[in-house]
Amino acid sequence: MKYLLLMYANETVASSFTPEQFQTANQEWMALTKELQDAGVLLGNSGLSPVANATSVRVRDSKTLVTDGPFAETHEQLGGYFLVECSDLDEAISWAAKFPNAKYGTVEVRPLWSGR
Amino acid sequence: MALSKFARCGLEGSDTSRMTASDQIEATFRAEHGRVLAALISQLGDFTLAEDALQDALVNALERWEVDGVPHNPGAWLTTVAKRRAIDRLRRSSTQERNAVILETFTEQDEPDMDDPIPDDRLKLMFTCCHPSLALEAQVALTLHTLGGLSTPEIARAFLVPVPTMAQRLARARAKIRNAGIPYRVPPADVLPERLDALLAVIYLIFNEGYVATEGEVLTRSDLCSEAIRLCRVLVDLLPERAEAHGLLALMLLHDARRETRLNDAGELVLLEDQDRSLWDRVKIEEGVAVLDAALKLYTPGPYQVQAAISALHAEATTAEATDWQQIAALYDTLAIMIPSVVVEVNRAVAAGMAGGARTGLDMLLRLEDQAGQFYPYHVARADLLRRTNQREAAADAYKQALVLCGNSAERAYLQRRLDEMLNF
C-alpha cells in the first residue's frame, strides 16, 4: 500500500535552530531518506517552503479568491512529505516513528485514496 | 438475532443442558463467533467479506439448527457454510480482479471436513480490533462485535448510544481496517508489549463499563463483565506466558465475585467493609486467586497483578476488620511507582490511613489537594477518614464537596446518607 507521511511541526522550532542544530537535523533527514531508499520503500519526498510563502485559492460564484497564508492557521504546519510503499499500516508507523520531527511535532500517516 | 437474550446467554457460568433450543443456538453463536470469524479472515484475506459471509452462515444456521439441532462441531459447520457463502458473494461480484484471485486460491482447496479443527486465529483478530489507530470506542465496539459475537443493537444498548450511531461506528472502523491497511497479525516482538497493553486496556474498559452500571440497563450492562472475562480467558489461553493477561483475568474475577453486593436493594452503593461477605462468589474468588498465583509465577510483575493482589487481600479477609491493610498499603506503594496517577495516590492514602491511622491518610490526602481537588473520590476518601476520626463538621463539608462533583446515582445515594448522618447526630 502507498502511504503519504506528512511532517507536521511548529515552524518556529526549526527556524530557531542554531547552525549546529540545523546541521544535525539536516543530517538526520538525509540519513532517514537514505534508509528509506535502501529499504526500497521510498517513492518520493520533498520539504515544503514555510507557510509564510503559502497562497490559498478558492473559487466562489465563479470568482477566484486568492489570499495570503495557509488553508488553516494551526499550531503545527505541514513542512514536507514522504511517499512510501509499505506492506501495511504497522510498517508505515514504524517508519513514521523514525522521523526527526516525530520527537517535537507530528507525523500523519495517510493511505493514498484507493477508490473505496 | 441475539437481541433479547443477551443477558442470559453468556456462556460464562451457564449450563447449556438447561437451555432451550434457541438459547443454545445463541450461546453457540456467541461462543464460536470469534474463532470462526478469525479463521475466515485468515483464509479470505478480507475482513468485510469474512464478516458478511459469517453473517450469511449464521442466518442459515438459525434456520437449520432450529429443525436439526446444533451440530456436534458447530464451529466447523459455520466455517464451511460461511466459506461457501463467501464464494457465492465473490462470484456475484467477480468483476474485480482481486476477487478472481481469492476465488482461485480458495476453490483450489479441498472441501473442508466438518470435523476439521478450526485454526485459532483469534489473537490476530484481537490485535486488529484493538489497533491504536482506531478510536478507543471503536476498538471496544469492534472487539465485542467480532470476538464476542454481540450484535450491533446489543452493543449500542450496552453503551447507551442509538443503534444507528453504533452501526456507523462499526462501519467506519471496518472501513479503516481495510483502507488504512491495518494488519491482521500478532504484532512483532518489538511492539507486542505496548499493543498487548492496549488490548488489555480495552478488555478492562469493557469490564468497567459493566461494573459501574448503576441504573437503567443494569442487566445488559453488567453482562459486559462476563464478556470481558470470557475475552480475557481466550487471551490467557493464547498468550499463556504474558503475566499481565493473567493478572487482568484475576483482577476481573475478584471484582466480579463481589459485584452482587456492591449495591443494596435501593440501588445505593455499599462500601466494601459493609458488604455481606457470605454473598461473595467463592468460586470466582478461588479461581481469581489461583489465576493470580499462576501470574506471579511468571515473575514479570505489572499493575494488573498488583491490583489483583490488593483485590485478593480484600476477598480473602473473613471480616472487614481482618483486612490486611499493611500489605494493601504496601501494594499501593508499588502501584504508585508502576502507574503514577492521582487515582492511585488517593487509594494509597486511604490504605495508609486504614493501616497506620486515619491521621497518616489525611496528611497524605492533604498533599494531593491541588491535583485531586476536582476528583470526587478524593473528597470521598477525605470524608470517610474524617468520619472515622469523628471530625463530623469537616466530614460533612467533604461529603458536600464530593456530592457537588459526583454524577453516579448509586454513589450519590451513599454520600447523601453519610452527609445526613454527619449532620443529624
pLDDT recorded at residue B36: 94
Q: In the predicted model, is pLDDT for residue B25 greater than 90? A: no
Residue of B48, B93, B97, B133 for testing the chain A interface, max A β-carbons within 10 Å: B133
Three-state SS letters, B329-372:
HHHHHHHHHHCCCHHHHHHHHHHHHHHHCHHHHHHHHHCCHHHH
pLDDT of residue B7: 35
Residue-level pLDDT at B23: 82
Summarised one tens digit per residue, pLDDT across range B147-164 is 988 889 988 888 888 999
Is the predicted pLDDT of residue B98 greater than 70, yes or no? Answer: no
Mean pLDDT, range B84-94, rounded to an integer: 85
Q: Chain B interface, mutation test: which of A2, A90, A95, A112, most B Cβ atoms within 10 Å?
A: A90
Q: Which residues of B touch A3 (CB under 8 A)?
A: 181
**CA atoms of B43 and B106, how far apart (whole Å):** 8
Residue B95's pLDDT is 60
How far is residue B279 from each of residues A107, B285, B324, B343, measured CA to CA in Å? 53, 12, 20, 28
Min Cα distance B178 → chain A (Å) is 9
Contacts of A36 (CB under 8 A, 6+ apart): A42, A45, A82, A84, A95
Reply yes or no on whether the pLDDT at B225 is more than 60. yes
Confidence class for position B255, pLDDT limits 50, 70, 90: very high
Q: Can you tell me the distance from the alpha carbon of B390 to that of B405, in angstroms, rounded to the nearest whole number? A: 23
Q: How buried is B394 (Cβ within 10 angstroms: 0-12 exposed, 13-18 middle, 19+ buried)?
A: middle
- Res A84: pLDDT: 98
Measure B183 CA to nearest chain A CA, in Å: 6
Contact A48, A14 (CB under 8 A): no
Q: Confirm or reject contact between A83 and chain B (CB < 8 A).
A: no
Residue B150 has what pLDDT?
A: 87
8 Å CB contact of A89 and B187: no
pLDDT at B117 over 80: no
Would you say the ipTM is above 0.90? no
Q: What is the pLDDT of residues B360-377, one digit of tens each?
A: 999 999 999 999 989 989
Grid cell at residue B58: 449464521
Q: Give, in degrees to the nearest 5, the angle at Cα B267 between B262 and B271.
A: 35
All three cell numbers of B200 = 488489555
* Option in B178, B179, B183 nearest A90 (CB): B183
Q: Return all residues near A28 (Cβ < 8 A) that are at least 6 apart.
A: A100
Dump pLDDT digits (tens) for B45-70: 888 899 999 999 999 999 999 888 88
For B25, half-sphere exposure in the C-beta direction (CA atoms, 13 angstrom radius) is: 21
**Range B241-257 average pLDDT:** 97
pLDDT value, residue B14: 45
Query: What single-letter amino acid sits at A55?
Result: T
Question: Of all residues in chain A, what percent carry a pLDDT higher than 70?
Answer: 99
| H helix or E strand, kind and range, residue A68 | strand A63-68
Q: What is the pLDDT of residues B172-222, one digit of tens each?
A: 999 999 999 999 999 998 899 999 999 999 999 999 888 876 544 454 566
Per-residue pLDDT band for B104 (boundaries 50, 70, 90) equals: low
The terminus-to-terminus CA distance of chain B in angstroms comes to 56
Query: What is the SS3 string spanning B266-298?
Result: CCCECCHHHCCHHHCCHHHHHHHHHHHHHHHCC
CB within 8 Å: B180 and A93: no
B131 vs A: CB within 8 A = yes
Q: What is the mean pLDDT of chain B?
A: 87
Average pLDDT over residues B160-173: 94
Of A88, A109, A111, the CB nearest to B183: A88
Residue A81 grid cell: 512529505
What's residue B211's pLDDT? 81
Q: Under a CB-based contact definition with an 8 Å cutoff, are residues B273 and B73 in contact?
A: no
Give the Cα separation of B84 and B243 in Å (integer): 40
Paired with A83 in beta bridges are A4, A44
The overall longest dimension of chain A from CA atoms, in Å, is 50
Query: What pLDDT shows up at residue B212?
Result: 73
Q: What is the pLDDT of residue B114?
A: 60
Could you read off the pLDDT of A54-64 as tens digits, one per residue?
Answer: 999 999 999 99
**pLDDT (0 to 100) of residue B158:** 80
Residue B342 has a pLDDT of 92
Of B98, B142, B190, nearest in space to A90 by CA: B190
Task: Select from B48, B179, B186, B194 the residue whose CB has the most chain A CBs within 10 Å, as the one to mutate to test that interface.
Answer: B179
- B230: phi > 0 → left, psi -120 to 50 → alpha, else beta; which? alpha
Phi, psi dihedrals of residue B246, rounded to the nearest 5° = -60, -45
Residue A78 pLDDT > 50, yes or no? yes
Res B112 pLDDT > 80: no
Nearest CA in chain A to B127: A90
Neighbours of B219 (CB within 10 A): 12
Among B92-106, B142-156, B159-173, B303-317, the range scoring the smallest mean pLDDT is B92-106
What residues of B are in contact with residue A93 (Cβ under 8 Å)?
Answer: 133
* B97 part of contact set with chain A, CB < 8 Å: no
Question: From CA B102, how far away is CA B88, in angstroms rounded?
Answer: 12
% pLDDT > 90, chain B: 62
pLDDT at B11 over 50: no
Contact residues on chain B for A114, CB-CB shorter than 8 A: 179
Q: Of B179, B181, B183, which is closest to A116 when you measure between CB atoms?
A: B179
Amino acid sitting at position B305 = Q
Q: How many CB atoms lie within 10 A of CB A52?
A: 11
pLDDT band at B116 (very low <50, low <70, confident <90, very high): low
User: Quick one: how far is CA B20 from the chain centroid?
Assistant: 27
**C-alpha dist (Å) from residue B130 to B57, B124, B146, B236, B238:** 25, 10, 11, 16, 16
pLDDT the model gives residue B115: 62
In the numeric block, the cell 499481565 is attached to: B244
pLDDT of residue B107: 57
> Torsions phi, psi of B226, nearest 5?
-60, -40
Under DSSP, is residue A36 helix (H, G, I), strand (E, B) or coil? Answer: helix
Contact call for B179 and A86, based on CB within 8 A: no
The owner of cell 498499603 is: B329
A19-44, pLDDT tens digit by residue?
999 899 899 999 999 999 999 999 99
